[in-house]
Amino acid sequence: MRDESKPAYLEQLTTRLRERDAVIGIVGLGYVGLPLTLRYAEAGFRVLGIDIDGDKVDRLNRGESYLRHIATTDLARARANGFEATTDFSRADEADALIICVPTPLGAYREPDLSFVLGTTDALLPFMRPGQVLSLESTTYPGTTDEELKPRLESRGFVIGRDVFLVFSPEREDPGNPDFHTRTIPKVCGGVTPACLEAGVALYSPAIDRVVPVSSTRAAELTKLLENIHRAVNIGLVNEMKIIADRMRIDIHEVIRAAATKPFGFTPYYPGPGLGGHCIPIDPFYLTWKAREYGLHTRFIELAGEINSDMPHWVVGKLVDALNSRGKAVMGSRVLVLGIAYKKDVEDMRESPSVELMEILRDKGAVVDYSDPHVPVFPRMREHRFDLRSVELTPQRIASYDIVLLATAHSAFDYDLVRQYATLIVDTRGVYTAPLPNVVQA
DSSP per-residue string spanning 229-261: HHHHHHHHHHHHHHHHHHHTT--HHHHHHHHTT
Give the number of residues written for the chain: 442
Selecting among 101, 189, 196, 279, the annotated active-site residue is 279
CA distance 246 to 240: 10
Angle at 264 (CA atoms; ends 263, 269), nearest 5 degrees: 90
Phi, psi of 277 (to 5 degrees): 90, 170
Q: How many CB atoms lie under 10 A from the CB of residue 335?
A: 25
Would you tell me the crossing angle of helices 72-80 and 33-42 to the nearest 10 degrees? 50
- Residue 272 contacts residue 342 (beta carbons within 8 Å): no
Strands annotated E in 320-424: 334-338, 367-371, 403-406
Q: pTM for the whole thing? A: 0.91
- Residue 391 contacts residue 336 (beta carbons within 8 Å): yes
Examine the residue annotation and report whether 279 is marked as an active-site residue of this protein: yes
DSSP classification of residue 145: I
- Residue 406 contacts residue 375 (beta carbons within 8 Å): no
Instruction: Walk along the chain (442 residues) and give the pLDDT tens digit of each residue.
Output: 456 568 899 999 999 999 999 999 999 999 999 999 999 999 999 999 999 999 999 999 998 888 877 888 889 899 999 999 999 999 999 999 999 999 998 887 788 999 999 999 999 999 999 999 999 999 999 999 999 999 999 999 999 999 999 999 999 988 777 788 899 999 999 999 999 999 999 999 999 999 999 999 999 999 999 999 999 999 999 999 999 999 999 999 999 999 999 999 999 999 999 887 666 778 888 999 999 999 999 999 999 989 999 999 999 999 999 999 999 999 999 999 999 999 999 898 888 999 999 999 999 999 999 999 999 999 887 777 899 999 999 999 999 999 999 999 999 999 999 999 999 999 999 999 999 999 999 9
Q: How many CB atoms lie under 10 A from the CB of residue 248?
A: 8
